[in-house]
Amino acid sequence: MEGRVKLRKLSDMLRNRSDMKTDDKGYCRQKLRIRCPQRFEEFRSTWPKYGLAGLLVTSLLISGCTSAPLPVAPSTPQYLDYLFPNVPEYLSGQPGVQHHNEAWQALQAGYLTEASTGFSRALNGKREFFPALVGLGYVALAERQPTEALERFREVLVENQNYVPAWIGQAVALLQSSMELEALQAYQKALAFDPGLDTVKRRVEVLRFRRLQILITTAQKADTDGQPVAAAQAYREALEISPESAYLYRGLAAMEREIGNTGSALENITRANSLESDNPSDFIFQGEILESMGDLDGAEQAYSEASRLKPSDINAARLATLRARLTLSRLPPSYRTISDSVSVTRGEIAALVGVRLTSILSIFPRDETILITDTRGHWADPWVRTVSQTGVMEVFPNHTFEPNRTLRRGELARVVDRLLSVIESRFPENVFNWKNQNIDFSDLLPRNIQYESAAIAVASGVMSRLQDGTFRPTGLVSGQEAIKVVDRILDIYDKTT
């Protein structure tokens, strides 16, 4: 009797729900499976045992679930990469909100058909409820249909560019399509709108690292294959990911230099050195570029830093050569054209000695009382005064130097003799006795006043006899010959010290 009463009550309750459509009842069964899984399974297992009573009770449960509160999401969501498409406040009053929330729970529980149905119900043909469109995009992702998913996400982003769940979904879809760079950009968009997404930050770092590895490998291969343009492009893209990498700036600088973009090469190697200031090779690289561009002061600074970081004979020699060039560049234009002279002047040889042999001239005592009246305003005046005060060259009795007068070989020999004499007096144990050499000249006898200087100049190897055995003390001296004489004297001095 008590069982009949219960069945009658169940039948009445079911009759009260007779206005439900077939689709509605099916949808409720699906919701029951998600929201009341334990009760659903219990009644499904008792169906053979209780027959019609089981059917009536199951129907009652299905009907009752339609008014139950929103269930708790699965404890372990199946799609952790997906971001819940939250409903903006201005859409919170829409009737599809509950369907939308339940569809998301169905999706995370793995019920894709139910999720798709729920999102479609939430959408109800109205595109303005865009969170449901994003939900359908996530369902497509779960079904491994990235193309369809991308269409959904992009449709939403056209009018809702700051909707983060759509950017996250688009990133996942792009990853499924093996488009890592585009996925990285989508994730970065999402972070721009919501910097608090720590999980997304970690994904971005992983993608950035993977992309960086690919680009570096691409750049290195392109360089090996002789394709500097392609290598430079790969380095530029890598720098967009890692803009504080000295290694990348260094690689890009090398490629730009090879291409011929010297300015860009300098900019990039300078940036590399500002990020890592302990690499001597990079400063040498920077110095070479600056030197090729004519910036000798900048090149000297770069070479000096390289020499400081790694002292070596090579670095010292490079720096010395650069400083010589730098000194030359600072000299008057007339000095720089001495090498082209057919016949040098007294002023030009004074400048050569004064510039190149400063270390030897420092040994000489100076007579600063010497008066010179005709060199004021002459480009070689500072060096004329130096060689005159040290006695390397003489001032004429009328106190003139005549800097523009053509220099003769005999006069050059006297300059050589005086310079070698001071070297010999300073380092007697290291200097060969050139004065005891018997040198024969067909045009210059030993009793000639110019013989001794000519003999010493030839015996030391600084000057030479002409092919016919003459010295020609009145002969002219070319610019090239004058430079060689000065350099040989400097070489002797360096060897003795």
pLDDT-derived band at 386 (thresholds 50, 70, 90) equals very high
- In the prediction, which pLDDT does 111 show? 95
Threshold 0.75, pTM exceeds: no
95-196 matches 208-330 in fold: yes
DSSP string, 16-61: HTTTS-HHHHHHHHHHHHHHSHHHHHHHHHHHHHHTHHHHHHHHHH
Whether 276 has a pLDDT exceeding 90, the answer reads yes
CA angle, 118 then 120 then 16, to 5°: 55
pLDDT one-digit tens code per residue, 6-19: 434 434 443 444 34
Q: In angstroms, rounded to a whole number, what is the distance separating the alpha carbons of residues 88 and 40? A: 34
Q: Lowest-confidence range among 233-237, 365-369, 417-421?
A: 365-369
- In the prediction, which pLDDT does 373 show? 96
In this structure, which topology does domain 208-330 adopt according to CATH? 1.25.40
Question: Average pLDDT in the 59-71 region?
Answer: 39
Q: Could you tell me which residue, 323 or 347, shows the higher pLDDT?
A: 347
| Residues ≥6 apart with Cβ < 8 Å to 117 | 27, 30, 103
Largest CA distance in the chain: 161
List the domain boundaries for the chain: 2-65, 95-196, 208-330, 336-496
| Residues ≥6 apart with Cβ < 8 Å to 30 | 106, 111, 113, 114, 117
- In the prediction, which pLDDT does 218 show? 96
% of the chain surpassing 70 pLDDT: 84
Question: Average pLDDT in the 166-174 region?
Answer: 96
- In the prediction, which pLDDT does 45 show? 52
- In the prediction, which pLDDT does 157 show? 95
pLDDT-derived band at 437 (thresholds 50, 70, 90) equals confident
- In the prediction, which pLDDT does 315 show? 80
Check if CATH label 1.25.40.10 holds for domain 95-196. yes
% of the chain surpassing 90 pLDDT: 68
Q: Could you tell me which residue, 443 or 51, shows the higher pLDDT?
A: 443
Question: Average pLDDT in the 223-252 region?
Answer: 95
Distance of CA 71 to the CA centre of its chain: 54
As a whole number, the mean pLDDT across the chain is 85
- In the prediction, which pLDDT does 490 show? 93
- In the prediction, which pLDDT does 342 show? 96
- In the prediction, which pLDDT does 53 show? 43
Asked if 176 and 146 count as a contact pair (C-beta separation under 8 A), the reply is yes
pLDDT one-digit tens code per residue, 328-338: 788 899 999 99
pLDDT-derived band at 432 (thresholds 50, 70, 90) equals low
Asked if 456 and 324 count as a contact pair (C-beta separation under 8 A), the reply is no
Looking at mean pLDDT, say which of 123-132, 247-256, 292-301 comes out highest. 247-256
Asked if 99 and 12 count as a contact pair (C-beta separation under 8 A), the reply is no
Q: Lowest-confidence range among 234-248, 315-329, 390-404?
A: 315-329
Nearest to 183 by CA among 202, 197, 204: 204
Q: What are phi and psi of 19, to 5 degrees?
A: -80, -5
Residue type, 373: T
Q: What are phi and psi of 297, to 5 degrees?
A: -65, -45
Question: Average pLDDT in the 452-460 region?
Answer: 93
The structure tokens listed for 253 are 């600088």
Q: In angstroms, rounded to a whole number, what is the distance separating the alpha carbons of residues 267 and 412? A: 49
Whether 2 has a pLDDT exceeding 50, the answer reads no
pLDDT one-digit tens code per residue, 107-163: 999 999 999 999 999 998 777 899 999 999 999 999 999 999 999 999 999 999 999
